[in-house]
Amino acid sequence: MKRIVGVGCIVVTSCVLTCVYRAQFAARAALAGTRANQSAAMREDAQDTFHDGMPDFLRLEDRADQEAFRNWFTLIAEYQALRPAEEVPTEINDCAALLRFAYRNALRVHDDTWIRENRLEPPAAIPSVEKYHYPYTRLRASLFRVRAGSFRTTDIKDGTFSEFADAKTLLELNTYLLSKDVAVAAPGDILFFRQLEQNTPFHSMVFVGHSQWSSDVDAKAADNVVVYHTGPIGRSRGEMRRLRLGELLHHPSPRWRPLPGNGNFLGVYRWNILRETN
């Protein structure tokens, strides 16, 4: 009887140990799988296809999203030049502020609340960007890169991205050069200038293309349009301005003409979130 019981104990013990080992193996396998998934997610988050510092999770790869961003960005920017000066948001106090304002709002959900708060009723239905909605991004409200370098996951929380960026920073770290030929410009692209004789030498203008507000400005509807904020002028806070591209090309001061031979004209730039493989 003792031998039988002993053998039975050995058998039972062996079964228990086998179950324990199997449970431990399953737990380790699950942990390894979790770590592998986390590593894959981190690698995906850290992807920066063009090594320009912009994470791929912010890029708008879908053509519909690209078009939606361009339409809203130009619509919002141009509207600031068409609305009464006293209605222009106070935060728009120079050219870079106009870019930041239009950029952020182009990435929002444009529901009734947004339309009411911004007092902006689009002349036609325009879909919003679908990939993500400001400020609910992985970078939250800090959309603009302010430190040079390719993207790393640590950039998300170490101050590499900010809600604020001046014209020089937007030029160098958030956009890329297309050409000094303004003919390549598409709606939503930026014309950058550097005027060394000014206190703030870097200046930007939004290339709108054909106005979406054509019903309000029929005389200029067929022409390409640019809009910008002057920044402070003397003791005044400056103002929004809207020009036809032809007017800008023949500006009374040659240093403001967007021509290849103008050393003050830096070129046509495009937002990094719109960058594509050629």
* Chain centroid to CA 146: 13
The pTM score is 0.83
Report d(CA 245, CA 90) in Å as an integer: 27
Rg (CA), the chain: 27
Q: Are 200 and 167 in contact (CB under 8 A)?
A: yes
The pLDDT, as a whole number, for residue 221 is 47
Least confident of 30-39, 176-185, 225-234: 30-39
For 113, the token pair is: 């609340």
Whether the per-residue pLDDT at 36 is higher than 50: the answer is no
Nearest to 95 by CA among 259, 260, 256: 256
Report d(CA 4, CA 25) in Å as an integer: 31
The pLDDT, as a whole number, for residue 164 is 98
Per-residue pLDDT, averaged over 150-155, amounts to 97
Per-residue pLDDT, averaged over 5-30, amounts to 53
Residue found under tokens 């029929």: 218
